[in-house]
Amino acid sequence: MRPETEEALAQMIVSADGPLRIVGGGTRPIGRSVGAALSLAGMAGITLYEPGALTLVAKAGTPLAEVQTRLAAENQRLAFEPMDHRALLSTSGEPTIGGMVAANVSGPRRIAVGACRDFMLGVRFVDGAGHIIKNGGRVMKNVTGYDLVKLLTGSYGTLGVLTEVSLKVLPDVETQATLVLDGLDDATAVAAMAAAMSSPFEVTGAAHDPAAGRTLLRLEGFAASVAYRAQALAGVLAPFGTVTVLDDPAQGAAIWAAIRDVTAFAGQEGDVWRLSVKASDAPALVAKAGARAAIYDWAGGLVWLLTDGDLRARLGDFAGHATLIRGQADVPVFQPEPAPVAALSAGLRAKFDPRGIFNPGMMG
């Protein structure tokens, strides 16, 4: 199925006699969805872009690359730095903006500016009864009615099929620099990243790669400002070790793209888990995980783990959640929720998708 209009999509949903597997670019096969493929590729194109208002509206099937090219021409960008899952998940094809929103995909800069959901201004979608629904809009401040925009973002297609999304965009930066600390253990690295994030120097990336023995902190902005802050931040980090400053923007871009896309785990044997926790809890949890490898992003708030078996059983009760992004472990892909929360989530799914046909088995 490949609808080209909302009306055609609504009709297909109404007449569907079984589960639907909703597909954007097909580059992020997270979760175990079954059913007939419903592709959004036929609903593509940027419908509005106002650089002066920092606003972009695009149909769900629009290739992300097209959006990024258009933004770059105006020296703007998607500030939440969406991850490209293709290397990690061995997929091909073109990621779409709808898929990015459905999975709330963000990257290292999330620690400073917020996630995809924080940049979402509006959605149009079709629910399980075939109703065409809009929420939010194209303006930056909007509290008119409930925020279904956030509810739909990261719902992995289980509440509705996104047809159009509007986003806040931000100016791109003149340059960047990355400060590197070598050889820190995980706990010291998390402490160093916390010190950096607690400084006023506007760190926009804080990652730690234990295998490489490197702790990375990114600064971005106008050249003079980056140079000033690099010096000031090096002072803050001095108690943790010797600081090297990499100020070649191309080198920095490559380093952060690798962190963003978790390329270190690409092609490696084992399941890939995404752990979202309180940063200071991360080192102890990583120790419990007994993983083959770990990568810390978001100053430790996000940990990627390469491991086998039931990670959650090894972690025990912890604050946060673990999602199985790639792998075979015979466990729920998404973290099971406490009963009262699970009841609300199930209730919402039953309202928005009463026949349970959207990506069944994905999240709930």
Which positions from 56 through 75 interact with other proteins, judged by CB under 8 A? 74-75
Q: How far is the CB of 205 from other proteins (least distance, A)?
A: 14
Q: How far is the CB of 103 from other proteins (least distance, A)?
A: 11
| Phi-psi label, residue 39: left if phi above 0, alpha if psi -120 to 50, beta otherwise | beta
User: Whole-angstrom Cα distance, residue 17 to residue 357?
Assistant: 9
In the three-class reduction of DSSP (H, G, I as helix; E, B as strand; rest coil), residue 203 is classed as strand
User: Whole-angstrom Cα distance, residue 114 to residue 109?
Assistant: 7
159 near other proteins, judged by CB under 8 A: yes
User: Whole-angstrom Cα distance, residue 92 to residue 300?
Assistant: 29
243 near other proteins, judged by CB under 8 A: no
32 near other proteins, judged by CB under 8 A: no
Is the CB of 39 or the CB of 142 nearer to other proteins? Answer: 142
Q: How far is the CB of 124 from other proteins (least distance, A)?
A: 10
154 near other proteins, judged by CB under 8 A: yes
Options 28, 109, 110, 326; binder of other proteins; rule CB under 8 A: 110
Options 32, 131, 288, 314; binder of other proteins; rule CB under 8 A: 131
Footprint of other proteins on 171-210 (CB under 8 A): 171-174, 191, 194, 197-200
Q: How far is the CB of 174 from other proteins (least distance, A)?
A: 7
Footprint of other proteins on 320-359 (CB under 8 A): 320-321, 323, 334-335, 337-338, 340-342, 344-345, 347-348, 351-352
94 near other proteins, judged by CB under 8 A: no
89 near other proteins, judged by CB under 8 A: no
Options 135, 178, 215, 307; binder of other proteins; rule CB under 8 A: 135
249 near other proteins, judged by CB under 8 A: no
What HEC string does 117-138 produce?
A: HHHEEEEEEECCCCCEEEEECC
Strand 214-221 with 203-209, pairing: antiparallel
Q: Give which of 132, 211, 161, 160 is closest to 60, Cα–Cα.
A: 161
148 near other proteins, judged by CB under 8 A: yes
CA distances (Å), origin 217, targets 184, 207, 232 = 13, 7, 13
Burial of 46 (0-12, 13-18, 19+ CB in 10 A): middle
Options 46, 87, 133, 257; binder of other proteins; rule CB under 8 A: 133
Q: How far is the CB of 72 from other proteins (least distance, A)?
A: 13
276 near other proteins, judged by CB under 8 A: yes
Q: At what angle do helices 186-197 and 282-289 cross, to 10 degrees?
A: 150
Options 70, 86, 150, 292; binder of other proteins; rule CB under 8 A: 150
What HEC string does 220-245 produce?
A: EECHHHHHHHHHHHHHHHHHHCCEEE
User: Whole-angstrom Cα distance, residue 262 to residue 334?
Assistant: 19
